[in-house]
Chain A
Amino acid sequence: MPKDHGIGASPKRREDVRFLTGAGNYTDDINVHGQAYVHFLRSDMAHGKINSIDTSAAEGMPGVVRIFTGKDFEGVGGLPCGWQVTDKNGDPMKEPPHPVLAQGKVRHVGDPIAAVVADSLEQARTAAEAIVLDIEELPAVVDMAKALQPGATKVHDDLADNLCYDWQFGTDTETTDAAFMNAAHVTTLELVNNRLVANPMEPRVAVGDYSRARDEHTLYTTSQNPHVIRLLMGAFVLGIPEHKLRVVAPDVGGGFGTKIFHYAEEAFCTFAAKACNRPVKWTSTRSEAFMSDAHGRDHVTKIELALDKDNNFLAVRTDTLANMGAYLSTFSSSVPTWLHGTLMAGNYKTPAVQVNVKAVFTNTVPVDAYRGAGRPEATFQLERVIDKAARELGVDPIALRRQNFITQFPYATPVAVEYDTGDYEATMAKMEELMDIKGFAARRAESEKNGKLRGLGVNCFIEACGIAPSNLVGQLGARAGLYDAATVRVNATGSISVLVGAHSHGQGHETVFPQVVAEMLGIDESMVDIVHGDTSKIPFGMGTYGSRSLAVCGSAMVRATEKIINKAKKIAGHLLEASDADIELKDGKFTVAGTDKSVAWGDVTLAAYVPHNYPLEDIEPGLEETAFYDPANFTYPAGAYACEVEVDPDTGKVTIEKFVSADDFGNVVNPMIVEGQVHGGIAQGIGQALLENCAYDENGQLLSASYMDYAMPRADDIPHMANYVVDHSCQTPCTHNPLGVKGCGEAGAIGSPPTVVNAVIDALHSGGHTHVSHIDMPVSPSRVWAAINGQ
């Protein structure tokens, strides 16, 4: 019997009632009395020198409150980068200024030049059209290789060139080179990890409000981490102390990483609310989102794999160009380095792994973390090159992976991380069973009868989640700690508010977190609610990303709940006239061990707040506890994925016929929500593999600037649920957090892109197109057709 409550049960998501009935409270639903609206005049050039901005005509237009340009922000800090990467010579990365509004130059299409605040949005837009710009167009750098050529146009004139850093990590060059020299076979692959736009359903919104009476600022914003925004914006941009700045992130309609970062529009609305003495609201249009939300991925990589004569992996070496865009977004520098290089060992016991990354400035929108952040890029390279090696060597791709699996744990990789636990053989076997690999040949024959080519793609993946041990990331350049915090506030009559630092914007925390607390206390889940997303309510929180919420914030919540239990036992001991060491808590009742003497949960909580009969000399009244939790290590979810595709050789169109994931997430609190997370993650991975392509032309114009050209995955691009199998039954619990959980939010997006591409290549080879060793994502019909036809 599956459980019907507590840990391991699948209650429906309680937050969905408000989301599905239109009762959510999103940032755009927040309207502050007297608010004005801002419209940003954005650059339509990729690169240009600002000679002058004449706002005089616009200022007199109807409804205009005030017009701001870069000049108004000269005394104000720029948007900071939260992670300092040190390059291979020991020098810090280049950190050019990132002004709130452009100063001197515009550096990408969408760079904000001026901001018009007016009584209505349409008035602001109309006035913006009357601003006279004199901007001298400069040549744009778009292609990363060209950006690094000597003499290339510089995105930032004060820097020597367009190189942000040249990073090397892992095994030293001598050892790595020796491994390649001794190899019986070397497989090389050059590939692109395509630039993506996250496209959460809710575009970004910011509302700035300022109270002159109390000299207090409030920012309502679409953020995954309100405390991080308070810290970055307060301390680095606007100089507002924390106690004078409240950041609220109410219901947020999806983030996928792109709502982690501190954006210019947030700083602007906060600043302008005080400057105009009026609340200021900005709501992004979808078109603005395409050119102002941080983009994801955009790596160009050469990867080499060395094998010995028995097909054991000897060494992996990679050379990557990583696009930073025009400015460093909040965590941009960490993505191609620490979130990417550290995963390059994958699930394999390769003795030598060396990662080289050059980060490059270009005249494009800044690039930062997007679901998986660095780990999808690592997985894609490694699992594609292994597949290519298997094909070149004529061995079974599953057997080649199996043979090289890490089987002993803990395992210290050559790229600094230590996997605490895992069982890659178990997930591989589970995948083979669910995929019915044995039946593939018959299914292929069936497809061929219909003129289609059928391919099978498999791969493994590993990721580092539960971000992150603060002392470790501090050594690596993080400018923040990555613990989290929770307060368990037990009310007098026994109901509970849990104030958590994690932010829920689709993950279902409001359902899952109470399952844990209710299980620990033996009370009904309906007695527990969580509170999140408001710096004035929650103790502190680093927010939600990197599949960290349950592993890190959930751990803090467990620790705080344990403190509650300890104190409640003391109160119960007093009420029952027994030693608290003898008190047991079960099913919401405190019992003296070995007796039938008991007191109910509600009596204990009432006693805490009405302490008439209470050990006031020993313990304080009240029942509220806070815990901060800093993880001892990352967690390492891993798994094996497979899919079958059909390729229409006449048109090049690829359809996914079946997808199977076998994941190891450690313990699972709510299986339904975990499955939903993986379904969504794989859908995004399929989007990256087959459809999504953020493309610029050579002049830095964004070609895919709307849904007319940027292809999002739709329901019918995803296999029917019967053929979309997500399994999490293989469980090696995390060894270092109290719940034994690893995190499941990103796995689907990390594991699935190579699965799809491996399957397409397999299909093409079965059709005799053996000259095709790789197709860059998105594997669109025209690219498949061009590959088949050698175009």
Chain B
Amino acid sequence: MYSFDIQRPTTVADAVAALATDEALPLGGGQTLIPTLKQRLSAPSVLVSLSGIAEMKGVCTGDDGALCIGGGTTHATVAREAASSYPALASLAGHIGDPAVRNRGTIGGSVANNDPSACYPAAVLASGATVVTNTRSIAADDYFQGMFATALNEGEIITEVRFPVPEKAAYMKFEQPASRFALVGVFVAKYAEGVRVAVTGASEDGVFRWTEAEAALSSNFSADAVPAAPSGDGMISDLHGSGAYRAHLVAVMTKRAVAAAG
């Protein structure tokens, strides 16, 4: 790790000001960033810790009924506090990593990082959630822009993520054997307006919506309605599985998610 300065603002405004420094980076739970620093793959001069900002923490229900989760809320808190309002999301959070990771890692950090195998992006996209930053609100469909790429500008902080709560939903994660991130994870959410299906872990372009399945499930929400597996072209192919295998799992996990959503 190279040496750096650390700042611990207590308000979003102070954090934004601190991030205006050249080569400053926000630090969430550090579960992704700290290992990167240890390997000297990143060399910020200032880390701006977001963990002391009370206004970025917690789970509540907004006036429009959406579930609002502060950007600095840990996975463990979401697992606990969203359990009754949005059980599929709480369960997703409760199966990220191990207890140490869940007690440090935050939703803002996960969504900002947009790892192609991370779990939260599937929930955000399938829920048609809104990513709220210190300057604007970004619809999920505009937010994710490929592996590790998002609509965030430099120095922009995710302060909140707002999830419209679906009638039914489930997340099915098939774990990569080593990392236990998603080899393929599918989040299915059924709203009055239709069904959304988001897939993580599979595509070289990061999280994506499986529109064929959405169309089929919107008219018939049952496992049998899930279409045949998508093509393996453009799917990730690595030590843990070929693109064809991942494509196959997309269909299997979608069926299981629909069945679990009931």
Question: How distant is A299 from chain B, measured CB to nearest CB, in Å?
Answer: 20
Mark each residue of chain A from 122 to 161: 1 if its CB lies under 8 Å from any CB of chain B, else 0.
1001100000000000000000000000000000000000
Q: Which of B99-107, B120-128, B141-149, B240-248 touches A?
A: B240-248
Contact of B179 among A693, A709, A778, A791 (CB under 8 A): A709
Nearest CB in chain B to that of A690: its residue: B177
A411 to B240, CA, bound (A): 45
Contact, CB under 8 Å: A122 / B3: yes
Nearest CB in chain B to that of A786: its residue: B245
Contact, CB under 8 Å: A703 / B239: yes
Contact, CB under 8 Å: A695 / B239: yes
Contact of A709 among B3, B39, B239 (CB under 8 A): B239
Nearest CB in chain A to that of B256: its residue: A650
Contact of A704 with B by CB under 8 A: yes
Mark each residue of chain A from 635 to 653: 1 if its CB lies under 8 Å from any CB of chain B, else 0.
0000000000000001111
Nearest CB in chain A to that of B178: its residue: A711
A651 to B178, CA, bound (A): 16
Contact of A781 with B by CB under 8 A: yes
Contact, CB under 8 Å: B177 / A781: yes
Interface residue ranges of A680-701 to B (CB < 8 Å)? 690-691, 693, 695
Residues of B within 8 A of A122 (CB): 1-3
Contact, CB under 8 Å: B245 / A711: no
Contact, CB under 8 Å: B178 / A709: yes
Mark each residue of chain A from 265 to 299: 1 if its CB lies under 8 Å from any CB of chain B, else 0.
00000000000000000000001000000000000
Contact, CB under 8 Å: B252 / A650: yes
Contact, CB under 8 Å: A651 / B252: yes
Nearest CB in chain B to that of A126: its residue: B2
Contact, CB under 8 Å: A125 / B40: yes
Contact of A708 among B40, B178, B244 (CB under 8 A): B178
A606 to B183, CA, bound (A): 69
Residues of A within 8 A of B249 (CB): 651
Question: How distant is A778 from chain B, measured CB to nearest CB, in Å?
Answer: 8
Contact of A782 among B3, B241, B252 (CB under 8 A): B241
Contact of B177 among A126, A780, A786 (CB under 8 A): A780
A472 to B121, CA, bound (A): 63
Q: Given A709-B178, A780-B177, are A786 and B242 also a contact pair (CB < 8 Å)? A: yes
Contact of A710 with B by CB under 8 A: yes
Interface residue ranges of B172-199 to A (CB < 8 Å)? 174, 177-179, 183
Question: How distant is B172 from chain A, measured CB to nearest CB, in Å?
Answer: 10
Interface residue ranges of A737-791 to B (CB < 8 Å)? 778, 780-782, 785-786, 791
Interface residue ranges of A608-661 to B (CB < 8 Å)? 650-653
Contact, CB under 8 Å: A785 / B178: no
Contact, CB under 8 Å: B174 / A651: yes
A782 to B239, CA, bound (A): 9
Nearest CB in chain A to that of B98: its residue: A714
Contact, CB under 8 Å: A785 / B245: yes
Question: How distant is A759 from chain B, measured CB to nearest CB, in Å?
Answer: 18
Question: How distant is A636 from chain B, measured CB to nearest CB, in Å?
Answer: 35
Nearest CB in chain A to that of B174: its residue: A651
Contact of A440 with B by CB under 8 A: no
Contact, CB under 8 Å: A791 / B244: yes
Residues of A within 8 A of B238 (CB): 703
Q: Given A287-B39, A782-B242, A786-B242, are A707 and B248 also a contact pair (CB < 8 Å)? A: no
Residues of B within 8 A of A695 (CB): 239
Residues of B within 8 A of A778 (CB): 177
Contact, CB under 8 Å: B248 / A785: yes
Question: How distant is B140 from chain A, measured CB to nearest CB, in Å?
Answer: 26
Residues of A within 8 A of B240 (CB): 709, 780, 782
Question: How distant is B111 from chain A, measured CB to nearest CB, in Å?
Answer: 20
Residues of B within 8 A of A704 (CB): 178, 239
Question: How distant is B40 from chain A, measured CB to nearest CB, in Å?
Answer: 7
A708 to B36, CA, bound (A): 13
Question: How distant is A351 from chain B, measured CB to nearest CB, in Å?
Answer: 42
Q: Given A651-B252, A703-B239, are A710 and B245 also a contact pair (CB < 8 Å)? A: no
Nearest CB in chain B to that of A125: its residue: B40
Mark each residue of chain B from 222 to 245: 1 if its CB lies under 8 Å from any CB of chain A, else 0.
000000000000000011111011
Nearest CB in chain A to that of B3: its residue: A122
Contact of B178 among A126, A710, A782 (CB under 8 A): A710
Residues of A within 8 A of B1 (CB): 122
A235 to B249, CA, bound (A): 57
Question: How distant is B33 from chain A, measured CB to nearest CB, in Å?
Answer: 15
Residues of B within 8 A of A287 (CB): 39
Q: Given A125-B40, A650-B252, are A707 and B179 also a contact pair (CB < 8 Å)? A: yes
Question: How distant is A39 from chain B, measured CB to nearest CB, in Å?
Answer: 11
Q: Given A122-B3, A287-B39, A711-B178, are A693 and B244 also a contact pair (CB < 8 Å)? A: no
A734 to B40, CA, bound (A): 54
Question: How distant is A211 from chain B, measured CB to nearest CB, in Å?
Answer: 34
Nearest CB in chain A to that of B252: its residue: A650
Nearest CB in chain A to that of B253: its residue: A651
Mark each residue of chain B from 1 to 42: 1 if its CB lies under 8 Å from any CB of chain A, else 0.
111000000000000000000000000000000000001100
Residues of A within 8 A of B179 (CB): 707-709
Question: How distant is A573 from chain B, measured CB to nearest CB, in Å?
Answer: 64
Question: How distant is B256 from chain A, measured CB to nearest CB, in Å?
Answer: 9
Mark each residue of chain A from 712 to 741: 1 if its CB lies under 8 Å from any CB of chain B, else 0.
100000000000000000000000000000
Question: How distant is B255 from chain A, measured CB to nearest CB, in Å?
Answer: 8
A653 to B244, CA, bound (A): 16
Interface centre among B1, B3, B239, B252, by most chain A C-beta atoms within 10 angstroms, is: B239
Question: How distant is B235 from chain A, measured CB to nearest CB, in Å?
Answer: 12
Nearest CB in chain B to that of A712: its residue: B178
A514 to B244, CA, bound (A): 58
Mark each residue of chain B from 79 to 104: 1 if its CB lies under 8 Å from any CB of chain A, else 0.
00000000000000000000000000
Question: How distant is A687 from chain B, measured CB to nearest CB, in Å?
Answer: 10
Interface residue ranges of B148-181 to A (CB < 8 Å)? 174, 177-179
A704 to B177, CA, bound (A): 12
Q: Given A650-B252, A703-B239, A704-B239, are A782 and B39 also a contact pair (CB < 8 Å)? A: no
A578 to B240, CA, bound (A): 76
Mark each residue of chain A from 90 to 133: 1 if its CB lies under 8 Å from any CB of chain B, else 0.
00000000000000000000000000000000100110000000
Contact, CB under 8 Å: A782 / B245: yes
Contact, CB under 8 Å: B177 / A711: yes
Question: How distant is A537 from chain B, measured CB to nearest CB, in Å?
Answer: 37
Residues of A within 8 A of B252 (CB): 650-651
Contact, CB under 8 Å: B239 / A693: yes
A287 to B41, CA, bound (A): 14
Residues of A within 8 A of B245 (CB): 652, 782, 785-786
Residues of A within 8 A of B239 (CB): 693, 695, 703-704, 709
Residues of B within 8 A of A781 (CB): 174, 177, 183, 241
Residues of B within 8 A of A126 (CB): 2
Nearest CB in chain A to that of B248: its residue: A785
Nearest CB in chain A to that of B1: its residue: A122
Residues of B within 8 A of A691 (CB): 177-178
A422 to B168, CA, bound (A): 61
Question: How distant is B32 from chain A, measured CB to nearest CB, in Å?
Answer: 11
Mark each residue of chain A from 374 to 398: 1 if its CB lies under 8 Å from any CB of chain B, else 0.
0000000000000000000000000
23 contacts across the A-B interface (CB closer than 8 A): A122-B3, A125-B40, A287-B39, A651-B174, A651-B249, A651-B252, A652-B245, A653-B174, A690-B177, A704-B239, A707-B178, A707-B179, A709-B178, A709-B179, A709-B239, A711-B177, A711-B178, A780-B240, A781-B174, A781-B177, A781-B241, A782-B241, A791-B242
Contacts from A to B (Cβ < 8 Å): 122, 125-126, 287, 650-653, 690-691, 693, 695, 703-704, 707-712, 778, 780-782, 785-786, 791
Complex A-B, nearest 8 residue pairs according to Cβ-Cβ distance, in ascending order: A782-B241, A711-B178, A711-B177, A708-B179, A782-B245, A650-B252, A709-B178, A703-B239
Contacts from B to A (Cβ < 8 Å): 1-3, 39-40, 174, 177-179, 183, 238-242, 244-245, 248-249, 252
Given contacts A703-B239, A710-B178, A778-B177, 5 further A-B contacts (CB under 8 A): A287-B39, A650-B252, A704-B239, A709-B240, A782-B241
